[in-house]
Chain A
Amino acid sequence: MDDSAMLSVDFLAGFTIFILALIMVINMVPGIMIGLESQNIDYDAVAYRTGVILVEDPGWPANPPWELKDEYHKDDIHRLGLAVSANTPNVLSRAKINRFFNDSFFTDEDYGQKVIFADMPYAPYAYNIALKVGDELLPPRGDDVPKRSYGYIRRLVKVKEPHYASIDCTNLVRSETEENRTTTYFSVELDYAKLYDKSISEAYRIDPRFEPVNITFENFDQSLNSTDTNEVWLNGTRFYKEGVAGEIPFGYDIQDDESYQLILEDNSGATTYHTLDDHCQLNDVSKIRLILAPPLPFAYETDTVLTVKMSLDYDFIDVNKTKQFINGTFEYNYQDPDNVMTLPTLTDGVLEVCVW
């Protein structure tokens, strides 16, 4: 009898221990990766994602855009992007900004669900979203930034400022009449096909379907011949659409800031708000401002030609004098021979998102 069997026991013991050791080491490998994880990485990633959604995405729904939803349809909004369109990253819409930073429209819960996407109840995020446009710092959304570490991203942006027309009435085409009383019309024509010019980047494009149209008549009182004008009245404002007979059915007699604002300003700077149906005396009015909020009625198609027609009643004093009044049609367009249009311009800004 020799001792070769004893060697097999040694081998068996050693091999067993080796296998045990190997199993333990393999089990420990995931553990040694723990050191690579960092709490900040999650928050930085969330901040980055939020920044991308805000700056590069127009939000959802995009057409018609979410900023046109009212309080009752807020649940239809799924994502709060601020970009003018997906083709213009870093160019933000002023209308979206105004809605996003509106104190009374969205709640903290809305921001959490529609832009931070903190939809896991066990992992709520605190956040701070701040936007500065030019020198104007908008009231930040969320909480104050903590002193401890937080996820952070900074994005440089430009903000598309609104377009508007400022028409000096003293430069308007005047006509003459021999009648003592006369009714004249002044129209503003919005040809969507011309405005919706695809050769112009969306960053500079006028899109009355989704953007407010702002028309101001300046120096109206100076356009009157004061020695010969007894009274002048604004006798209603109406919308007309090419191809549709008669005026567009609309709540002309309802004052609604969400649809339009008709503001008269006198020489002292005092302003009064009116409906489009009101009869307003204009003798001492220096400015007539009409703001049409999107969407305009019956004007969703890109080939719409919409005319806003203001009716003016003049009552003259001297029957022997030649009477003067304003009338004509002004085209709200990029081509601007009278130099009355202010087209969309971009203003520098910076957006910062902090998440913790």
Chain B
Amino acid sequence: MVNDQAQMYTLEGFAAGVLMLLTAYLVLGTTTVYTPGDVHITDMQLQQLGSDALAMMDLPDTEPEIYGSGENILEKLIVTDNSTDFRTYFLDNITRTTDPKKTVVNDIQFNATIYYRMESPPVNESEIQSYHFCSSGNDARSDLVSREPAVRVTRFVTIDAKHYPPNPKPQITLNHDVDERAQVVLLEVLLWRG
């Protein structure tokens, strides 16, 4: 017996297939995948800039061993707990340019934290401690909310309080309970465009 059922099924299948194909083609053809295409570039630039700024601050202008006056400004600012001057030096470095027109965005915010190791920490506390060192704004906590995605740069800084005569103790010890010995601390700076 011959009827038209098979033709019906074939046409329905064919129509459904064409519909599926068209739909897939249209959906994929019209969808734009929005990606933050250049964000990683600006992140890289900011990270490089911050890293350079810390490295340059950690490099004395004259040979310390020969002149005896080769001052490591980064070490000095940390030992003397001078966040005001750190803010000035750091901002001066990261905003330096040959021509202000070349720099699209030069409004950079930052927040710096210092991590250090205590030889005899209080009971139930970690050897690794930290304190907030400096931020671009006046209120540290206000910088920590509602900010743009930040990049992180770090530098191990060798500090020796003996280079900056303590009276009676180095400021870093008085203010933050950091041991007086020569040591290496980790300076972490979060940077973001303001």
Q: Interface residues, chain A, CB within 8 Å of chain B?
A: 1, 3, 6-7, 9-10, 13-14, 17-18, 20-21, 24-25, 28, 32, 35-36, 38, 40-41, 44, 48, 51, 89-91, 130-132, 137, 140, 145, 152-158, 199-201, 203-204, 334, 343-348, 350-352, 354
Contact = CB atoms under 8 A, between A and B. Distances in A.
10 contacts: A1-B1, A17-B17, A21-B20, A24-B25, A28-B25, A137-B98, A153-B48, A155-B52, A156-B52, A158-B59
B89 to A, nearest CB: 10
A151 B103 CA distance: 11
B162 interface: no
Interface in B46-66: 48-49, 52-53, 55-56, 59-63, 65-66
Contacts of A18: 17, 20
B38 A155 contact: no
Contacts of A158: 56, 59, 61
A93 to B, nearest CB: 15
Given A152-B45, A203-B59, 12 more contacts: A21-B20, A21-B21, A38-B38, A44-B38, A48-B48, A130-B98, A152-B102, A152-B104, A154-B49, A156-B55, A346-B60, A347-B61
The 4 A-B pairs of least Cβ separation, nearest first, read A17-B17, A6-B6, A204-B63, A156-B52
Contacts of A25: 24, 28
A154 B56 CA distance: 14
Contacts of A200: 63, 65-66
A197 B18 CA distance: 80
Contacts of A348: 56, 93, 96
B71 to A, nearest CB: 12
Nearest to B66: A334
B32 A35 contact: yes
Given A154-B45, A155-B48, A28 B28 contact: yes
B2 to A, nearest CB: 9
Q: Interface residues of B: mostly helix, strand, loop or mixed?
A: helix
Given A21-B20, A343-B62, A347-B61, A352 B97 contact: yes
B56 A90 contact: yes
A7 B9 contact: yes
Given A17-B13, A154-B45, A200-B63, A36 B98 contact: no
A145 B98 CA distance: 12
A155 B56 CA distance: 10
B144 interface: no
Q: Interface residues of A: mostly helix, strand, loop or mixed?
A: mixed
Given A130-B98, A343-B66, A36 B37 contact: yes
B33 interface: yes
A10 B48 contact: no
B96 A156 contact: yes
B98 A350 contact: yes
A145 B31 CA distance: 35
Nearest to A204: B63
Nearest to B51: A156
Nearest to B50: A156
A350 B35 contact: no
Nearest to B63: A204
Interface centre among A44, A158, A204, A354 (most CB of B within 10 A): A204
B65 to A, nearest CB: 7
Contacts of A36: 33, 35, 37
B66 to A, nearest CB: 5
Given A132-B98, A152-B45, A346 B62 contact: yes
Given A35-B35, A154-B103, A13 B17 contact: yes
Contact of A10 (B10, B49, B61, B102): B10
Contacts of A3: 3, 5-6
Contacts of B66: 200, 204, 334, 343
A348 B21 CA distance: 63
Contact of A9 (B10, B34, B59, B60): B10
Contacts of A44: 38, 41, 44-45
A51 B18 CA distance: 54
Interface string B141-183: 0000000000000000000000000000000000000000000
A107 B60 CA distance: 35
Interface string B85-111: 000000001101111011110000000
B99 A130 contact: yes
A3 B31 CA distance: 43
B131 interface: no
Contacts of B33: 32, 35-36
